[in-house]
Structure 1
């Protein structure tokens, strides 16, 4: 799809969660190359080694860390132009009735409640700019049209919820560009060594969405630069 993109993110501020490895690390690196001041969120900020990024302690299941992270960005940068909700876990596999309730809750907390809470905390700064972007890293495992992943049921349900959140947030904030993306099956710690896609390929569309110019499409699910059904 032909969409107008920002050539540079100079002067803009981005927050990427789960930025210490995999797709999140690649997204943070590419946004930095585009000129953004990137806050790289991770549960262990010492794992953020890029010298041109700003390590940020951020466990998206910890309300205090969420508040502290957004407060720090507000104090230091005074703005937030791009929020990439990337942090996720795969969670337990198997028949629903056999799953550990705590593992179910952790999966939902990281993949769904975390992005919701973080976006809620950041919404004032995001809407101040008038053309900010929220990119929710979702999955085809959460598509009703494609078949929700029942092998990893909590994961599939959490990503379906993230898709719904994307659509609803877009409806409430028409000036904010909110999109979800399926990066595909990627060779990460979660995806495994047999996945067909490289990390760079998985980060490609999320970074593309972070470059959307004002007036670009919003409230959609994307894969490889094209919209797909919820």
Structure 2
């Protein structure tokens, strides 16, 4: 895929990885719609700010109507409530699902016909290593990412005949506001954006960014004992 010939809509593009993705795409010559719930917070010169709340059906429809020349969709919008799945407010659990799973799906349903009509293109779902392994402090977030991974595998089969390649990005913690309290190793979001756009260019089905994600993917065939050794008896 020639990135310089694409028109890309990036959700959650006002900060963090979304902003870096928009910046990387601009650098490579793409036209970029920068979706954000508050478009006035988009401060990246050269993009077209777009009001977008992926959890609101009317907002999704309006954004799709405004971006009729899109050939690439990047589902990056996210939330992280930190809710405990056993004791926390179920409304927060639902928000994670509404954002990462249902929100991404809503965007695909709204824009896939446009991408197909424009000659085909690509969709990138920004997932996480937590789609493959999960822990109590991030339980709702990980469950939503896992649901989004499963959805990704379905829609990539359905959209392939339309000339739309669907890719998934998997990465551990990044040095963004969402991971401000994380003390472990964190990836540079600018480098993640570069590798993500490389993956789009190359037509990769999965873009696995860091060593942690590669190790976890390799451990999937080992089952619970490989993923959660602390539970071994």
Give TM class, smaller chain. Answer: 0.7 to 0.9
Does the 8 Å CA contact 2:77/2:99 hold for their aligned counterparts?
yes
1:177 pairs with 2:165: yes
1:12 Cα deviation from its structure 2 partner: 1.9
Gaps of 5+ in 1: 1-5
Match of 1:9 in 2: 3
Query: Comparing both structures, which one devotes a greater share of its residues to helix?
Result: 2
Q: Larger C-alpha radius of gyration, 1 or 2?
A: 2
SS for the counterpart of 1:10 is: helix
- For residues 127-166 of structure 1, the aligned pairs below 5 Å read 127-143=116-132, 147-166=133-152
Instruction: Summarize the Cα distance change of 1:217–1:211 in structure 2 as closer, same or farther, 3 Å threshold.
Output: closer
Query: How many residue pairs are counted as aligned between the two chains?
Result: 212
Does the 8 Å CA contact 1:61/1:113 hold for their aligned counterparts?
yes
1:112 Cα deviation from its structure 2 partner: 0.9
Does the 8 Å CA contact 1:186/1:192 hold for their aligned counterparts?
no
Q: Could you report, residue by residue, the CA deviation over 1:11-31 in whole angstroms, capped at 9, with x for unpaired residues? A: 321000110000000000000
Match of 2:37 in 1: 43
Does the 8 Å CA contact 1:149/1:155 hold for their aligned counterparts?
no
Match of 2:88 in 1: 99
| 1:30 paired residue among 12, 16, 24 | 24
Choose between structure 1 and 2 for higher RCO, CA contacts under 8 A separated by at least 6 residues.
1
RMSD between superposed Cα atoms in Å: 2.1
Q: TM-score, normalised on structure 1? A: 0.84
